Structure 1
Amino acid sequence: MPDHLDIATLTDLARRAEARTPGPCACTKTPLDGWQSQPLSLDETQLREIGTLMPEHDPEPTFAEYLPGKIGYWSADAPIAPRYSPYNRCSVWECSACGRLYLRYTEGGGYFVDRRIRALRLHLIEDVAL
């Protein structure tokens, strides 16, 4: 199992990644600022798992979402709140080509499975208690 990343470690990883990756990304044509179904144009072999935000001692983390105001789940401005869903089910991945960090999880519904991905943005990380 990948290492658990607490909020301080996640923040530090995001800070370092943003400092070394200026400019636009050429790894995918789909913008990944907000949650997206993982695009087929993204070469998965370029991604390396860094760790997980899934709570260490909680086999079934909450499904509660943290979306203040009128922000929506798909919004590029939605906060990244690691204690809330879907972040508490995410792994953190690094692109070996550009050095950017991404959050990934699998959304499972009644008749589908959807791999979702979102760029990790330092200014959106919020340490909000449940």
Structure 2
Amino acid sequence: MPDHLNAATLLDLARRAEARAPGPCACTKTPLDGWQSQPLSLDETRFREIGTLMPEDDPEPTFAEYLPGKVNYWSTEAPIAPRYFPYNRCGVWECSSCGRLYLRYTEGGGYFVDRRIRALRWTLIEDVSL
């Protein structure tokens, strides 16, 4: 199982990754600044999981979302709050081509499963309590 990453560690990793890879990425043609269904064109062999935001001692993390103001789940400016849904169910993945970090989780509904992905931007990380 991947190592659990707290908000401080996540922030540090995200800052370093963005400093190494400031320009656009060729990993995908689909912008991933906000949550997206994982593009079929994404080459998964380029990615390796470096950690998880899943709480170590909580088998069923909250479904509460942290969306202040008028921002919504799909917004590119939605905060990344590791203790809240969907971040508390995410793996943190690194692209071996560009070094960028991405958050990934699987959204499950009654009749579907949707693998979702979002680029990790350090400026959006907020360590807020439940």
- Interval of TM-score (by shorter of Structure 1 and Structure 2): over 0.9
Structure 1 alignment gaps of length 5 or more: none
Identity %: 87
**Which residue in the other structure is 2:101 paired with?**
101
Deviating above 2 A after TM superposition, structure 1's stretches of 4 or more consecutive aligned residues are none
Please name the residue that 1:87 is paired with: 87
Name the CA distance, whole Å, in 1 between partners of 2:110 and 2:22.
40
- Looking at structure 2, the residues matched to 110 and 11 of structure 1 have their Cα atoms a distance apart, in angstroms, of 34
Count of residue pairs brought into register by the alignment: 130
Counterparts of 1:116 and 1:27, CA distance in 2: 15
| Unpaired runs of at least 5, structure 2 | none
Structure 1 residue identity aligned to 2:93: W
Output the amino acid matched with 1:87.
Answer: Y
CA offset at residue 48 of structure 1?
Answer: 0.4
Alignment match, 1:43: 43
Paired residue for 1:5?
5
**RMSD, matched Cα:** 0.4
Letter of the 1:125 counterpart: I
Q: Distance in 1 between matches of 2:22 and 2:74?
A: 24
Q: Which whole-Å CA distance do the structure 2 matches of 1:22 and 1:2 have between them?
A: 26
Q: Which residue in 1 is equivalent to 2:24?
A: 24
- For residue 43 of structure 2, what is the amino acid of its counterpart? D
Q: 1:115: how far off?
A: 0.2
